[in-house]
Structures are given as structure tokens and as C-alpha cells.
Amino acid sequence: MIHNTHMSQYIPPTLWHFVTGTFTSVAGTVSGTIAINRANANETSVITIPIMIPSNSVALQGAKLVSIEVDYVVKTGEPTSLTWTLNKVTRGVEGSVASVDAITKTDTIAAADSHAVDEHKQVITITTPEWVDNDVYYLLEISLIAGAANNTEHFLGAVANFTLRV
């Protein structure tokens, strides 16, 4: 059996989910990189990152999700706030809706700092890392309240860190 505690999975911004706002694919600030740009508007956008790592139907096998790193840039002007929520989705059986639970975690960048004009790497660390069942998946949600300041953001990518045991 393989047990590797240092696995990572890159999740490009092209796989992210964006609701409310104008989001477009653009070249990143650094030549050769890619980004999704949010155009300036006074609105609340919800950006969701699907955590694409393996799972397993046997307990204590597959992937144990430990943390998620998110690279983004607040470019011009400062939005009002960014709020980070890690949701665990338990899929419903046929005929039933899924259920969603917010997972306890810590953020390396405090809420007051995560919306500053700067290059950011936010690390979301799960307080109790969890083995991922095949009927479960995780979504990291960013609620961005833009406010009236003239601000745009670039979303560059995310990396999920996990233990692999197969």
C-alpha cells in the first residue's frame, strides 16, 4: 500500500465556478500565466473552487484532504471583504437532495487583510483533515463583496494538498 502525505493537485481557474459579475479569461500579469478576471462592479460575487482530488468508498483509503491554497490578485482598489467557506457536499441518493456542511478551518490571511491590493496566497487548513468518501466532495467558496471602490481581481489557480493512501 502507498501512503504519501505530500500529494498536491493543481486546480486551474478554468474549472472554477463564478456567479454574479463579469468574468473573463485573460493573460496573467506574469507573462505565460493565465487568470480569470472579475470586472469592476459594485456587487457580491461568489467564486467556488471544486476540490478535484480522488476519493474512495473504503474508509481510510483514497485521499485525506488537508489544505487548499488559493492564488489571486486584488488589482486596483480594495473590495469590501472576502469571506472564505469550505463546504462538504454529501451527495443524495436517487430522489434525494444533497446536504452541505461547513467545515471548520483556519485561514492564513486574516479577513481584514485578504482584500488588500496585493498578490495573495490564502491557505485554508482543515482543522481535522478528512478522508474523502466517494459520496462526498468539497467546495471552497469565496464571497467577494466588491463595494463601491473601483476594483478588479485576477484568480490564478488553487492547489489542494492531501495524503494519498491506496
Partner 1 sequence: MLHNTHMAQVIPCTEIHYVTGTWTMTAGTVAGMIAKHKAAGAETAVVTVPVQIPSNSIALQGAKLTSIELDYELAAAAATSVTAVLHKVVRGIEGAVAVASHPTITQSLVAAAGAETEDTHKLVVTLSTPAWIDNDDYYLCEFSFVFGGAVTVDIFAAVVNFTLRV
Q: Interface residues with partner 1 (CB under 8 A)?
A: 1-2, 14-19, 46, 48, 50, 52, 54-58, 61-62, 85, 87, 89, 91-100, 102, 134-135, 137, 139, 141, 166
Q: For residues 87 and 50, what is the distance between their CA atoms, to the nearest angstrom?
A: 10
Give 117: exposed, middle or buried? Use CB within 10 Å, 0-12, 13-18, 19+: middle
* 8 A C-beta contact, residue 84 and residue 47: no
Backbone angles phi, psi at 152, to 5 degrees: -130, 160
Residue 31 or residue 57: which is nearer to partner 1 going by CB?
57
In angstroms, give the least distance from the CB of 160 to partner 1. Answer: 12
Beta carbon of residue 11, minimum distance to partner 1 (angstroms, whole number)? 9
Q: How far apart are CA 139 and CA 86, in angstroms?
A: 6
Q: 134 vs 150, which CB is nearer to partner 1?
A: 134
Nearer Cβ to partner 1, position 17 or 121? 17
- CB–CB of 124/70 below 8 Å? yes
Q: Pick between residue 27 and residue 102 the one whose CB is nearest to partner 1.
A: 102
CA nearest neighbour of 86 among 44, 36, 128:
128
Min dist CB 78 to partner 1, Å, is: 25
C-alpha cell at 103: 467545515
Minimum distance from residue 85 beta carbon to partner 1 (Å): 7
| Between 83 and 149, CB nearer to partner 1 | 83
Closest CB 148 distance from partner 1, rounded Å: 24
Amino acid making up residue 109: I
